[in-house]
Structure 1
């Protein structure tokens, strides 16, 4: 494991309220190929209710959870879909490794600027959002990756690592902030809020 990733994991391994070093550049972090491999059936990268773990079937009964086009669903947005495809491959040889390792590698692979992924204070998050015209895009993408991994674990294994579950709940709470929801427009934000709350309830169950 690369030193930069290990340091980040140690800082984020317990509660999401701890202060983290966001200055790491990650220039030496190993980049992984999360593109879909031609040797595998494309259906392997498309979660479906019929192939879900029994526990996931109990909790994920609405269609949007498995939709390939629902922007709020775990696997329906571009970042969520890409993340699940990569995570599904990665876990084959890293079944006992913390999924945060893959998350950080995925963020590095995309080249998205990092921020405190345990932060929900909009005043602090605004500093990140204003760093770039794509600030909200980056934050949304990283949040989608976190959510995709959490629900990907549930889909595949019927459970989510406890600390990553907390991270996913924090990611959803961050997306539920009025200032973040507003980015989605008056029409869609109501639907998005409803679905995010349903996902949060699943993670809390």
Structure 2
């Protein structure tokens, strides 16, 4: 079973040297509790008792309102994933931010306090487990308490456990095939998506040269996902026009500047793949725009002789072109973005 412990502040989310170390402690000598739950994601939220950063006052207010709705536990039986969101009371968001500099070191007291908070809220997990689920919650609760009682006070010992578990995870990850390494939930995509986009790297969210791996490409995918829920029968070109307008790019003249050209290239290419991944197809006019944008970008980097990633970039762009050209398409009639730029 994989356990992830993260922290959330009003303006940030992610791992923390002390708070997230609880993940490694729990996985270090964890016995088998059954296969009904394969992943547990725990997020510890912290009240921020200091002033919000400029322009983030509303964000802080909304965050504090959401704190009042905690704790929250959700269990996806089909995905074998349990999520636990709790509020941490042993410190504040302000203190966490204040201790970021100099570089934060492992704090054994915070490690223990995090696990104590988790143990305090663990009982809300039990009602989510059915008698028919193969998961021994009483044994899991006993294990949480026994782990707490054996947490070392020595920072070096804690870091050693963290490093051992990290190495185990790395070795397990390296054994996975390229598709499983992506860690994607395929229920979020079209059933035929992997046939339409058959190269694992083209699903990467971390590779800058992947269609949805850059910041712009990733944003395009996620914004389109939300838009598509209410506009599943509408042309993706309507979405493209609106998104480019929001990003101050002229769809009819996108090559006005280096910024405009690059943003347009990443957006239209990212959308072609977003459509294929979520709808299972990409309409022909969008395919044509994406291929043309790739060709334009390939031409723009041809003279960059000193760029060390040039060959890798070119190779992946040619792969993207081939994938786009093979995507099934569906024509949408009655829509002309060039004539209707305000759509």
Deviations 1:42-70 (A, max 9, x none): xxxx9938444343312434332111121
Tell me if structure 2 keeps the 8 A contact 1:146–1:167: yes
- For structure 2, which runs of at least 5 residues remain unmatched after alignment? 1-62, 64-181, 327-343
Between the aligned partners of 1:65 and 1:200, the Cα distance in structure 2 is 11
Change (3 A) 1:91 1:185: farther
Deviations 1:97-152 (A, max 9, x none): 221121121112122355535xxxxxxx5xx2xxxxxx222211111111111111
> Gapped runs of 5+ residues in structure 1?
1-37, 39-45, 118-124, 129-134
Runs of 4+ in 1 over 4 A off after TM superposition: 181-185
Q: 1:97 aligns with which of 234, 237, 242?
A: 234
Could you say which residue in structure 1 is the equivalent of 2:308?
A: 187
Q: Does 1:78 align with 2:215?
A: yes
Alignment size in residue pairs: 146
| Structure 2 counterpart of 1:204 | 325
Residue range with higher mean Cα deviation, 107-116 or 97-106: 107-116
Structure that is richer in helix per residue: 1
Distance 1:196 1:83 in 2: 18
Q: Return closer, same or farther for 1:142/1:96 CA change in 2, 3 Å cut-off.
A: same
Larger Rg: 2
Give 1 or 2: higher strand fraction.
Answer: 2
Task: Give the match for residue 18 of structure 1.
Answer: none
User: Does the 8 A contact of 2:221 with 2:274 survive in 1?
Assistant: yes
Is 1:48 the equivalent of 2:169? no
Deviation at 1:71, TM superposition (A): 1.2
Residue 172 of structure 1: aligned partner: 294
Identify which of structures 1 and 2 has the higher relative contact order when contacts are C-alpha pairs closer than 8 Å and 6+ apart. Answer: 1
Query: Contact 1:56/1:158 (CA < 8 Å) preserved in 2?
Result: yes
TM-aligned CA distance change 1:157 to 1:180, over 3 Å: same
CA contact (8 A) 2:196 2:280 kept: no
The CA distance in 2 between the partners of 1:53 and 1:90, in whole Å, is: 15
Q: Which of residues 269, 273, 276 in structure 2 aligns to 1:151? A: 273
TM-score when normalising by structure 1: 0.62
Task: Kindly report which structure 2 residues correspond to 1:15-164, keeping only aligned pairs within 5 A, or say none.
Answer: 48=184, 50-51=186-187, 52-116=189-253, 128=256, 135-164=257-286
